[in-house]
Amino acid sequence: METSTLIASDLSKFDIGDYNAGTKWKIILWYPINYFIFNSSIPWPNMFKSWLLRLFGAHVGTGLIIKPRVIIKNPQKLVIGDNCWLGESVWIDNLDKVTLGDNVCISQGAMLLTGNHDYSKMDFPYRLGAITLADGVWIGAKSVVCPGITCLSHAILTVNSVATKNLEPRKIYSGNPAVYLRDRKITN
């Protein structure tokens, strides 16, 4: 293979592009708060964590449960509805906006990734895409939701699966990449 036809990455030319993390002082303050409060094994009260998220620009509904060891990159790019659960070791890597509807459950170790890199360009720039999890969505343990994905009402992504395409309402998806498994039937 000829070397001239290869596209090489040059990370010294990396540019964040349109990404904006927010106000510098908030970013600087958020890191220790995220580390010592959210990413801690200490079970800080949920109301306190919700208050901190709001203080740093997140829109948070009522009844939020946040387990220990959660990482949230940018609270100002986070919208959380009512009665949501963030399981232990959830990572919300929100370089772009993440929106959770009401009654959304993100199980332990799951990752919401709003950014990756354009590997086809030498400067390896960010490719960002907002994530939306509609009402009643359940993201299973150790699953990954990729940039730009929308999971519609009451969709399920099963344990250790990767959502690379939008999930349709009331359907269950599994695998890497996740594929339709069956319909979700909800009874009273």
User: What is the domain-level CATH number for residue 150?
Assistant: 2.160.10.10
In the three-class reduction of DSSP (H, G, I as helix; E, B as strand; rest coil), residue 96 is classed as coil
* Bridge partners for 174 per DSSP: 179
Q: Is 6 a residue whose pLDDT tops 80? A: no
For residue 61, is it within any domain? Answer: yes
pLDDT, tens digit (0-9, with 9 covering 90-100), for 88-125: 999 999 999 999 999 999 999 999 999 998 888 888 88
For residue 92, is it within any domain? Answer: yes
Considering the entire predicted model, what is its pTM?
0.92
pLDDT bucket at 1, cuts 50 / 70 / 90: very low
Domain count, the chain: 1
For residue 118, is it within any domain? Answer: yes
Q: Is the dihedral of CA 71, 76, 81, 83 positive or negative?
A: positive
pLDDT, tens digit (0-9, with 9 covering 90-100), for 147-166: 999 999 999 999 999 999 99
For residue 157, is it within any domain? Answer: yes
For residue 3, is it within any domain? Answer: no
For residue 2, is it within any domain? Answer: no
For residue 27, is it within any domain? Answer: no
Q: What are the start-end ranges of the E strands in 30-137?
A: 59-60, 65-66, 71-72, 78-80, 85-86, 91-93, 98-100, 105-106, 111-113, 115-117, 126-128, 131-133
For residue 37, is it within any domain? Answer: no
Report the percentage of the chain scoring pLDDT > 90: 78
Q: Which domain covers residue 157, as residue numbers? A: 45-181
